[in-house]
Amino acid sequence: MTYVADSFDTLPPMHAWVTSARAKAAEDVAFLSGAALSHLHLVVNREDVPQALLRARLALRAAEVCMTHLGRPERAGELRDAVGFLQPGDSPGPAGEVLLSWQKAVERPVSIKALHRSLPQVEAEQIATWLDAAGQGAPVARAAIVLSAVLEDRPRDLSSALLLADAALAQSLGWTHVVPLLGLGLKRADIRKTGSDLHVACHQAIRSAAIEAVREAASLSRRASKLREVVPKLRAKGAEDAVAQFLGCDALPPMVLTSLRSDRAARRFCDRLVDLGAVRELTGRDTFRLYGL
């Protein structure tokens, strides 16, 4: 059942004993991650949360964490630039490919077809084999099994392993879409762990990532509410369609707002939204700008 509310603030914040407790015993770590997941489950089923935007923002964070694990310097700004202005036939580069994989993974309901679309370098049959290997156990255990299985076959493909582990987690929780959690929370030293040590690390990662996801959902919900409030002040033809694009994407260049009359009109529209405090300019540049909530 979808949880509906008039305001995101009606959902109580995650309890302090979940967010601040310092657990060491495996059973305590598992209990806290379960509590965090339970709270996040409410969030990912709320209609007043911009779900597509939340997943897109978490996908950016997961790609950023992957860059850190791989020893690459790209962070959010560089990752957005790598994909924000792509034209047909352009190469996004290694960092851009990682971000595109995460973006595509969270866009559509989780399935083998959708995952293959996000990871075209991996055969669909292989993806199915990895996910089937997880069996029917507990969600975190299944995710850990998938992570280990992918890394065993593709030890250099860390991003794909984390992405598919999050897909296994989403499937076992009954979520319609991948929500990046292990991609956000697992530390580099955790990834090569095995057995119970890996399971504990996954629980810790899920707890910390779920806390971050809930906070991000609250922030984006407030920003989305502000954006919807200013719609009556926007007189540009195609404004409602353009606003809908902002509610589904992490960052947009004005040129993709095709419901507006021209690139110039799109730039003026974006700057108007900035003036109204409804969106932010994300690059700090005078040209080749990106906008988002």
- Residue 261: CATH number of its domain: 1.10.10
Cα distances (angstroms) measured from residue 53 to each of 85, 135, 278, 288: 19, 31, 15, 22
Q: Is 46 within the bounds of a domain?
A: yes
Same domain, 201 and 258: no
Can you give the residue range of the structural domain that contains 21? 14-220
**Tokens read off for 264:** 């110039």
Final residue before a domain boundary, out of 177, 194, 220: 220
Per-residue pLDDT of the chain (293 residues), as tens digits, is: 333 344 445 566 888 888 887 887 899 999 999 999 999 999 999 998 999 999 999 999 999 999 999 999 999 999 999 999 998 888 999 999 999 999 999 999 999 999 999 999 999 999 999 999 887 789 999 999 999 999 999 999 999 999 999 999 999 999 999 999 999 999 999 998 999 999 999 999 999 999 999 999 999 999 999 999 999 999 888 999 999 999 999 999 999 999 998 999 999 999 999 999 999 999 999 999 999 99
What's the N-to-C CA distance of the chain in angstroms? 28
Same domain, 37 and 162: yes
Domain count along the chain: 2
Same domain, 107 and 191: yes
Final residue before a domain boundary, out of 189, 220, 251: 220
- Spatial contact of 13 and 54, defined as CB atoms under 8 Å apart: no
Which contacts of 11-20 are long-range, i.e. CB under 8 A and separated by 24 or more positions? 11/42, 11/43, 11/46, 13/214, 13/218, 14/39, 14/211, 14/214, 18/207, 18/211, 19/211
